[in-house]
Amino acid sequence: MTPNKPETPETPIQEKTNLLGMTLAELEAFFLQLGEKKFRAAQVMKWMHHRCAASFDEMTDLSKKLREKLQTCAEVRPPKVVLEDISSDGTRKWVLEVGDGSHVETVLIPAGGNRRTLCVSSQVGCSLDCSFCSTGKQGFQRNLTPAEIIGQVWVAQKSFGPRKDSANRPVTNVVMMGMGEPLMNYQPVLSAMQIMLEDNGYGISKRRVTVSTSGLVPQLDKLGDEIDVSLAISLHAPNDELRNQLVPINKKYPIHELIAACQRYLKKCGDSREVTIEYTLMAGINDQQEHALELARILKPLPCKINLIPFNPFPHSGYERPSRNQVMRFQNWLHEQGYSAPIRTTRGDDIDAACGQLVGRVQDKTRRSARYAEERIPAALIDSNWPSAG
Ligand code: SAH
Ligand code: SF4
């Protein structure tokens, strides 16, 4: 007779709810569902986002019973910091592990006075394949969750210690200009930005949270209906023929449609606002006088400012950065047309700390940590007018 094997009941492992990425409304619903009072949501939000608490034990104004209850079904799980690097000019850079072996980078850039701008990623990779972008060249891997997006702000804030008062915020500005196309990951990006704005969250002003997009018109219209944040458009070309080559999504949403969407967006903003136009200058491609003049002409109907970004080279890109003189000439042509057009520049040749160019090397996982340890963050000298908001 064969002895009966003891039965091993297949108990599914219950995933705990990560509270970090929940908006106030979602947290309120969560506590109500738990049979608790709604106001617990604001309390827990403040613990997570003001005081950087990652465990319920720290939340001393919750009863012991409630803390125990939360421990059974919930957690506060920020992304894991793989590497933190602080440069001599105060730029801080983090490599974050976001599950399934993926990594994203986040950079905090001091921008004069008490201003510190955090460049936040929205996706691992990007599917839009802009021809000059190293993120685009890596293809798309996955969307980040709200907790992984807001977790980047959490990590940056945590590195300064708990917030003492609202006047002394470690992160004063956020730009969604890291890896990925924010509007291709619409709902999680929206939730994360709501937490950025929310008083119980990071309490950052709507003018100081900027979403940067290559121009997804329907999502832009939706965004304007649902939140009021600043807008940056990655234009990079003054006509459809050239933009189709550089930013392929332009074939779907050509420039005149994009500009009209920007105008609609500005109308929905609660105050008078300008769109920031990002224009990456590539030698011999889009840096000639005819381009500057055409750019100035097409932007006339749109309240905007132009940020010039000298192309950031990467291996096999096929593009080159224009000479400093050419960049200045381009700026001058725009000046003559009435645009101030600040240049987003860097100190030294390497601008790896610039947003949008963060993660190329992170994806190459070979000797990743060792290489990061060997390298120093290049000191990014960001024009005081960049990013636009604030
Ligand atoms: N997907 C979004 C936000 C991330 S990219 C967008 O496209 O707007 C952030 C900025 O960096 C964009 O303006 C993008 O066009 C720019 N960028 C990408 N690759 C670059 C490069 N090699 N040199 C300079 N700027 C670059
Ligand atoms: Fe994606 Fe922006 Fe890079 Fe284009 S520039 S591939 S939209 S991250």
Note the pLDDT tens digit of each residue in 17-59. Answer: 999 999 999 999 999 999 999 999 999 999 999 999 999 999 9
In this structure, the number of other CB atoms found within 10 A of the CB of residue 12 comes to: 5
Instruction: Check if 355 is active-site.
Output: yes
Q: Are residues 70 and 87 in the same domain?
A: no
- The pLDDT value given to residue 285: 98
Nearest alpha-carbon partner for 54 in 75, 23, 27, 83: 75
Q: Are residues 55 and 132 in the same domain?
A: no
Mutation test residue for ligand 2: of 181, 189, 233, 250, the one with most atoms within 8 Å of CB = 181
H or E segment to which residue 175 belongs: strand 173-176
Q: Are residues 299 and 164 in the same domain?
A: yes
Q: Are residues 30 and 127 in the same domain?
A: no
Across the chain, what does the average pLDDT equal? 86
Mind giving me the DSSP string for 130-160? -TT-HHHHT-EEEEPPHHHHHHHHHHHHHTT
Domain end (from 52, 75, 98):
75
In the chain, how many domains are there?
2
Domain annotation covers residue 8? no
Nearest alpha-carbon partner for 265 in 217, 312, 298: 217
267-281 pLDDT, tens digit each = 999 788 899 999 999
CA 134 to ligand 2 centroid distance, Å:
8
Q: Are residues 29 and 116 in the same domain?
A: no
94-109 pLDDT, tens digit each = 999 987 788 898 999 8
Q: What angle do CA 9, 12, 15 make, to 5 degrees?
A: 155
CA 181 to ligand 2 centroid distance, Å:
6
CA gap 238, 17 in Å, rounded: 46
Parent domain of 228: 80-381
Q: Are residues 47 and 136 in the same domain?
A: no
Domain annotation covers residue 149? yes
CA gap 197, 208 in Å, rounded: 9
Domain end (from 27, 46, 75):
75
Q: Are residues 259 and 188 in the same domain?
A: yes
- Kindly list the distances between the CA atom of residue 60 and the CA atoms of 22, 43, 67, 164, 380, in Å, as whole numbers in the listed order: 21, 10, 9, 17, 40
CATH number at residue 358: 3.20.20.70
Whole-prediction pTM: 0.89
Instruction: Check if 374 is active-site.
Output: no
Domain annotation covers residue 144? yes
